[in-house]
Structure 1
Amino acid sequence: MSFLVWNCRGLAQPRAVRFLKEIIQQLRPNLVFLSETLVKKEKIEKICKDIGFADYCAVDAQGHGGGLALFWKTEGGVTVRDVCHNYIDFEVVNEQIGRWRYTGYYGFPERGRRRESWNMLEDLAGKSSLPWCIIGDFNYIVSRDEKQGGRVQPRWLMEGFSDASDRCELSDLGFIGDKFTWEKSRGSSSWVQERLDRGMATQAWKDLFPQAEVRVVDVTTSDHLSLYLYLNRRIFMPKVRRFRFENMWIKENECFNIVKDCWNGREGADIMSKLLLCCAKLEEWGGGMVQEIRAKLNMCRVKMRKLRSRRDGQGLNEYNDVRWEYLGLLEKQEVFWKQRAKQFRLKEGDANSRFFHKFASVRKKK
């Protein structure tokens, strides 16, 4: 079982939803918790269907801020226990392992409400004696090493959060990946980076899942990086691709040139011969484009990971160029999956989802 957690900073933009689908397809989490969705429940319900999850729990945004969403699949026995504007608390039941507890958390961003957050954390700790893991955007740092740039964090704020965690018997799960999970004003003189997102758990939960790890997903469309908590490592087998004409080729100028050359290059040939030649040339040119897009997506992630910490002008420009390339590749990948869902089953504006993936897979097996 695995858990994806992300402060998405708004799901109204197609770019954020597209990234969410891409990261779900890549990591295949069983649970997804989103904070700062900035939308109403109706939007969350549609997203739940689009990403292929069985059920959801949502908290509406307040004005121009807030909003929480939890998605889960049928397996796992998820039961939501408590909900408010700062967290969704739920239990998970597994026949082999038993019962344990998760909390998707979003701490108050206002400094004047820090004590409210600490009290809320202690209230959550007293609600159940089950093995407990809490993960999300806490909006705190526990040491000055977790911040770069900006004003120095007051010591009483860091110590206050540490003391509250100790009283709740919570300890940090650590992480693999980028040191900072949030940033502001990238490239300017006021560029700030902090580790605001983290996972914490009781010793009973750690004993239940001794191999659990938190990985920082290094690419995002938000100012927050996402966290991926996985209890056991998973291995995915590559799928075999079958060639067909790809609608995403139309976005490439080279496709038009190939068709034009094949059609005009053989005078006197019949239509069928020209079509066969055109098919062969397109297959030779674009047969590996799907794998190429996947490779480029991975390459973009690697480049963005390396460029995130650079603060010079050239590094900032390179980061922005790679980020826009990444978003363009996501759009092409969505066109690829739309085609496999068959056009008559696809309304204008519908997006890449688990339903369309499954439908395409069934057709492929036939």
Structure 2
Amino acid sequence: MKIYSWNVRGSSAPDKRRLAKRALTNLNLDVILLQETKLNSDKDVDFKNLCFKWEGLFQDARGSTGGLGILWNPVNIEVYPVASCDFWMACTIKCKKLNLCFPLFNIYGPIKTEDKLRVWKEITLQVYLLELGKVIMAGDFNAILNFKDKVGCLKKPTKVMDDFWDFVSNCRLVDIVPKNGKFTWNNRWLNFSNITERLDRFFVGEWWLLNNHSLESVIESQSGSDHFPITLSIAHESHGPKNYYKFLNMWWQDPSLLDLLRGWWMESNVFAGSPSFKFSKRIQLMKCKLKEWNKNTFKNIFSKNLRIESKLEEINNRVIAMGMTNKQYEAG
């Protein structure tokens, strides 16, 4: 399944036609989320016609600003509207390919600080009325989580960042960082006036990461707007039965192990989400660290065991065939 999110501000009608063509050909999309469509009811039909046989839901613009839209391919997707407001749309998505049903939010974050806080509270309330862990959110949030999400201009702590971080934590969301970069908006000014930020992103609930789903986000090429579109690809990974984890007693032969464990545990304190989710992710990281350390410190103990067992088998066969003298026994 593939979800495409794009703030279309500044894009022309030809740009939108190219979007429709790419959706049905190159990108192989299932759902398209649009922000700042600037469309009202009388223009919605014209926009849907650009996407041929796709279906759509729209939230009207406020005058000449705003506007949201969700388009989907009815061959693979069913959409059931839940609620909407000036700055967000919520619906339930049923994906036939993955046999999944989940809440999807299309968000266009407001500019004013007081409006942002109100919108975050509205969405949080709606998330708790739906399936909390399965939620997916996308769009232009018009906010950053930290200063790493911004290049250019002055950087100082703001209430907006704190409110946005509280919103993400309260909804137990996980940030899906694009594999090919991070910045999705550029003001297109030159030299020291240039500002680049990560305003557009995908968030998912913890359920997706704890139930063998592969999630990959990519920043797509610009299409007329000052925002870059982003896509989220979702696939279900089929795994065979997992081997249970073994902690080997021989590891305590290395006196530095305890200090290493403490260091790895502190190093793994980088995940956001509920306490149970953070704990499971830290355990996974610790497991990877122990595997790597064991390989470098004790080498491959399994191949050593095989060589020893093979040698013992050879000795046993010799004893069975020819017997063993006292001298051979004492020599081992």
TM-score range, shorter chain: 0.5 to 0.7
Amino acid at match of 2:100: G
Q: Is the 8 A contact 1:137 1:197 kept in 2?
A: yes
Contact 1:53/1:71 (<8 A) preserved: no
CA contact (8 A) 1:35 1:67 kept: yes
In the TM superposition, residue 209 of structure 1 has moved relative to its aligned partner by: 5.9
Q: TM-score, normalised by structure 1?
A: 0.59
Is 1:47 matched up with 2:22? no
Q: Which residue of 2 aligns with 1:355?
A: none
* Map of 1:359 onto structure 2: none
**1:256-275 alignment runs, 5 A limit:** none
Larger mean CA deviation between 150-159 and 132-141 belongs to: 150-159
Distance 2:14 2:95 in 1: 35
What is the number of equivalent residue pairs in this alignment? 232
**Counterpart residue number, 2:318:** none
Two-structure CA RMSD over aligned residues (Å): 2.1
Secondary structure of 1:141's partner?
A: coil
> Per-residue displacement from partner, 1:92-137 (whole Å, max 9, x unpaired)?
2245533211111111122342322321231222221251111111
- Partner AA of 1:232 in structure 2: A
What is residue 335 of structure 1 aligned with on the other side?
Answer: none
Report the counterpart of residue 160 of structure 1 in structure 2: 163
Residue 108 of structure 1, aligned match among 106, 110, 114: 110
Aligned to 1:83: 84
Q: Which residue of 2 aligns with 1:200?
A: 203
Q: Which has the larger radius of gyration?
A: 2
Q: Tell me the secondary structure at the aligned position of residue 105 of structure 1.
A: strand
| Structure 2 unaligned spans of 5+ | 237-332
Change (3 A) 1:54 1:194: same
Gaps of 5+ in 1: 234-366
- The one-character-per-residue Cα deviations of 1:252-278 (angstroms, maximum 9, x if unpaired) are xxxxxxxxxxxxxxxxxxxxxxxxxxx
Question: 2:252: which partner in 1?
Answer: none
**Aligned position for 2:142:** 139
Paired AA for residue 192 in structure 1: I
CA apart distance, 1:184? 1.0
Give the letter for the 1:36 counterpart.
Answer: E
Q: Give the secondary structure class of the aligned counterpart of 1:212.
A: strand
Cα distance, 1:10 vs. partner? 4.9
Distance in 1 separating the partners of 2:149 and 2:157 = 13
Report what 2:325 is aligned to. Answer: none
What residue in structure 2 maps to residue 15 of structure 1?
Answer: 14
In 2, the alpha carbon distance for the partners of 1:108 and 1:5 equals: 17
1:168, 1:202 → 2: CA distance? 8
Q: Could you state the TM-score of these two structures normalised by the residue count of structure 2?
A: 0.65
Partner of 1:220, secondary structure, is: coil
Deviation at 1:64, TM superposition (A): 1.7
Q: Secondary structure at the match of 1:177?
A: coil
Residue type at the aligned position of 1:15: P
